[in-house]
Amino acid sequence: MDGFPDVLDTCRRMIDERQPNFLRLYLNPAVGGACLLLNRLVSRTFPCVLFREPDPVFLATSGEEALSGALKLARFTVCNSAESSAGESRVREQVLLLDPQSRFPDFAALPFVSGAALPLIPEVRVWNGNGDPEELSRTWAGGIVVLAFDNIRSVAPGIARAVQQLIRRPGLLVIIAVTRESLPHWELISRQDVAAGDWSSLCPDIVVFDDSFTGGTVPFGAFVARQDIYRPWMRGKRSTFHSTTFQPNTLSCRQFLACCRVADPEWFDRQRPDLKRLEASVEALHQVYRTLFSPSLSRLIRKVRFDRDRMTASGHEFRVGRKGYFDGVAGVACSLRGHNPPTLVEEVLASRRSGVDARADVSRRLTQATGLTHVIPATSGATAVETALRLALAAQYPRTHVLVLSGGYAGKTLLALTGTTRAWYREQVGPLYPHVVICDPFAPDAIERLRAVLESVPVAVVQTELIQGVGGVRELPPDVVNFLHQQREHYGYLLFVDEIQTGMFRTGPLLMSESCRLMPDLVTIGKATSDMVFPMSLTLCSEAVVRSAGENAPQSTTRLLQRAGCESGWHVLRNALERAEQQNLPEQVRSAGEQLLVSLRRELAGCRMVRDIRGRGLLIGIELNRRSLAFRMLGPAVSRLYLLELLKHRERPLLMGFCQFEPHVFKLTPPLSITGDEIRDVSCTLRDVLHRSVLKVAASGLKALAVR
Ligand SMILES: Cc1ncc(COP(=O)(O)O)c(C=O)c1O
């Protein structure tokens, strides 16, 4: 993109420095720097904000994803304040999105040729520049307004007056969605440019940023929110409430900083000393994490002492000083070939120089492998799922129901929550897409239950994972999968298989659907599409889906199909697919997976703490015995204590995670290039630690945690 630094240069520097990229337990100066500059951009643009406490930042991978998070936060806030002011009734059309340039088309509703529209996020009224704005401000009585003007100074006087009236309303939550180009306009009016009218009430509660701040070179998005409304989300259980696989990541943050330097060199130079301080001082960086990013992450990093020395990552391990740790999480199933592949940038540059159309090549390869003709880019698993749902619902209109399976996980953005079935994730951020039916695939009578739903509800699309990765590494019963596959025509629904976790060779083949002999209408892949370098996900779908969606909702379908994605992301993915073919990755993963399962079962045989070891390929779950006395007494803390002990292993320390829905199930998702020796080491570490008694582990954990 013109004028912006080449993201591959940023990538090369990151790789040369072996800076960890997709690793949460890393006190990352790039993340700290990005949070600091986002905060300063907000206080420079909106001087009223200067008088507040520092405002925390949420990092996302697109403007749309950040807006989704911002609305969740705003709804959560409104919901809690409505609860406290007893009995206050909820208002219809709670959100007003003023989006005259249609920067967020199809965000809240799907428009059809018939003139009808299907609300995807209920109670959001969108004003896209048509109709009388004063009338709008008179008739709308909600609590959250989003201003997405490209140039607020050039709007007609009537519109400016209406917005000025709106933002004067007491108690209204104001979200401003800015772009790099719109910032100077907001700055001018908020500094009381008298010619622009009375903007004295303009003081946003949340500011949303999009990828114009990285010139579209790498996925980027963020919001900065008022400290007092974001604080409840930064504490305890809610701290990972809106987290995503790809955030935070080093590449997007470094590229954001590099773009800030180019876009405004003088301003950037003034920030430089503070940025340098973050690189030089661990305490300064902790302070930024604590106030602007994630206090719980800052605490955790301190507890595991990953801030004691320089952290680097390459291949299958990361190092803190001289101590190396095997990365059994690998960005949560994101890695094909380990951290910071040293030859990646040269390989990508060579393919760029050869003039190859990376998108066309990736699409050709994926279509050949899956039979699905359309490949649409997204910036995260959640946004890929949203694309799949939009296409499916457009294709199936007037059918509107989505059948999802309990225990399923599909991401945390507002529409993606359709497939995330745990109530806790959905509480206080609604209303969400309402036409959802949930069925339990593990019930003994699952088939009868599914049949009963399909007989009574005109289901548009069935959304399913094949292994519930977040839900405990649980493979769906084959008879349920077969039933859903075989009954498609009879009941007229589409089959959408979410392979964000199981796809990209994680279980062996490119898609797990292949092993189940499934031919879905829509598929999503993500995580390893990034190869732990470049955030990117995809939605794949059939010609028939696109044809039908195009007939019913031509504008939205065209917009989705025209999504470009980032050129470098396509190249990284092309590189990954090419290498996978050359190295026969499916066979490699199948064999490594079998070895790992055999080795784990051997080493953990007779271990009282372990109840089950399961999985496919290199997606492995180790279920701890929840009925043990330790679990009954200490709850999920037991998992954390054992994970800590794995990190503290003297000879072969191991980083592992647990399933978000089921903290007693450990999840192992190592790089797909894991070697035989590493499989042996990982199994031995797990043997050494899981055979220890809880008392011993608890004592050792408490000792470690007491040090600071
Ligand atoms: C099956 C599935 N779908 C969607 C997602 C959401 O992906 P992301 O975190 O990239 O938004 C995940 C994440 O774990 C997933 O496992």
Query: β-pairing, 109-111 with 117-119?
Result: antiparallel
CA 471–ligand 1 middle distance (angstroms): 11
pLDDT over 90 percentage in the chain: 83
* Residues 372 and 392 sit within 8 Å (Cβ to Cβ): no
CA 697–ligand 1 middle distance (angstroms): 32
Q: Token digits for 69?
A: 């998070």
Q: At what angle do helices 585-603 and 676-690 cross, to 10 degrees?
A: 30
CA 526–ligand 1 middle distance (angstroms): 8
Residues 166 and 140: their CA atoms lie apart, in Å, by: 9
* Residues 75 and 124 sit within 8 Å (Cβ to Cβ): no
- pLDDT score at 81: 80
CA 675–ligand 1 middle distance (angstroms): 26
Residues 172 and 137: their CA atoms lie apart, in Å, by: 13
Report pLDDT digits (tens) over 506-533. 999 999 999 999 999 999 999 999 999 9
Report pLDDT digits (tens) over 334-357. 999 999 999 999 999 999 999 999
The candidate with the shortest Cα–Cα distance to 679, out of 630, 636, 620, is 620
* Atom in ligand 1 nearest the alpha carbon of residue 412: 11
Residues 502 and 496: their CA atoms lie apart, in Å, by: 14
Mean pLDDT, range 152-169, rounded to an integer: 91
The string of DSSP letters for 178-212 reads --TTTHHHHHHHHTT-GGG---TT---SEEEE-GG
The candidate with the shortest Cα–Cα distance to 521, out of 483, 550, 495, is 495
Residue nearest ligand 1's atom 8 by CA: 381
Res. 90: pLDDT tops 70: no
Residue nearest ligand 1's atom 3 by CA: 410
Residues 290 and 130: their CA atoms lie apart, in Å, by: 44
* Atom in ligand 1 nearest the alpha carbon of residue 524: 3
Residue whose pair of structure tokens reads 């520097």 in the numeric block? 13
Q: What is the CA radius of gyration of the chain?
A: 25
* Atom in ligand 1 nearest the alpha carbon of residue 382: 11
CA 529–ligand 1 middle distance (angstroms): 12
Residues 75 and 467: their CA atoms lie apart, in Å, by: 32
Q: Token digits for 381?
A: 């698993």
Q: At what angle do helices 567-582 and 358-370 cross, to 10 degrees?
A: 50
Report pLDDT digits (tens) over 31-89. 999 999 999 999 999 988 777 778 999 999 999 999 999 999 999 998 888 655 544 44
Mean pLDDT, range 435-446, rounded to an integer: 98
pLDDT tier at 705, thresholds 50, 70, 90? low
CA 5–ligand 1 middle distance (angstroms): 30
The candidate with the shortest Cα–Cα distance to 464, out of 425, 431, 510, 512, is 512
Distance of CA 554 to the CA centre of its chain: 28
Residue nearest ligand 1's atom 4 by CA: 410
pLDDT tier at 184, thresholds 50, 70, 90? very high
* Atom in ligand 1 nearest the alpha carbon of residue 499: 1
Pocket around ligand 1 at a 6 A CB cut-off:
244-246, 380-382, 385, 409-411, 465, 469-470, 498, 500-501, 526
Residues 702 and 636: their CA atoms lie apart, in Å, by: 15
Mean pLDDT, range 446-470, rounded to an integer: 98
pLDDT tier at 320, thresholds 50, 70, 90? very high
Distance of CA 200 to the CA centre of its chain: 36
CA 214–ligand 1 middle distance (angstroms): 24
- pLDDT score at 633: 83
Res. 195: pLDDT tops 70: no
Mean pLDDT, range 173-194, rounded to an integer: 91
Residues 124 and 513: their CA atoms lie apart, in Å, by: 36
* Atom in ligand 1 nearest the alpha carbon of residue 526: 10
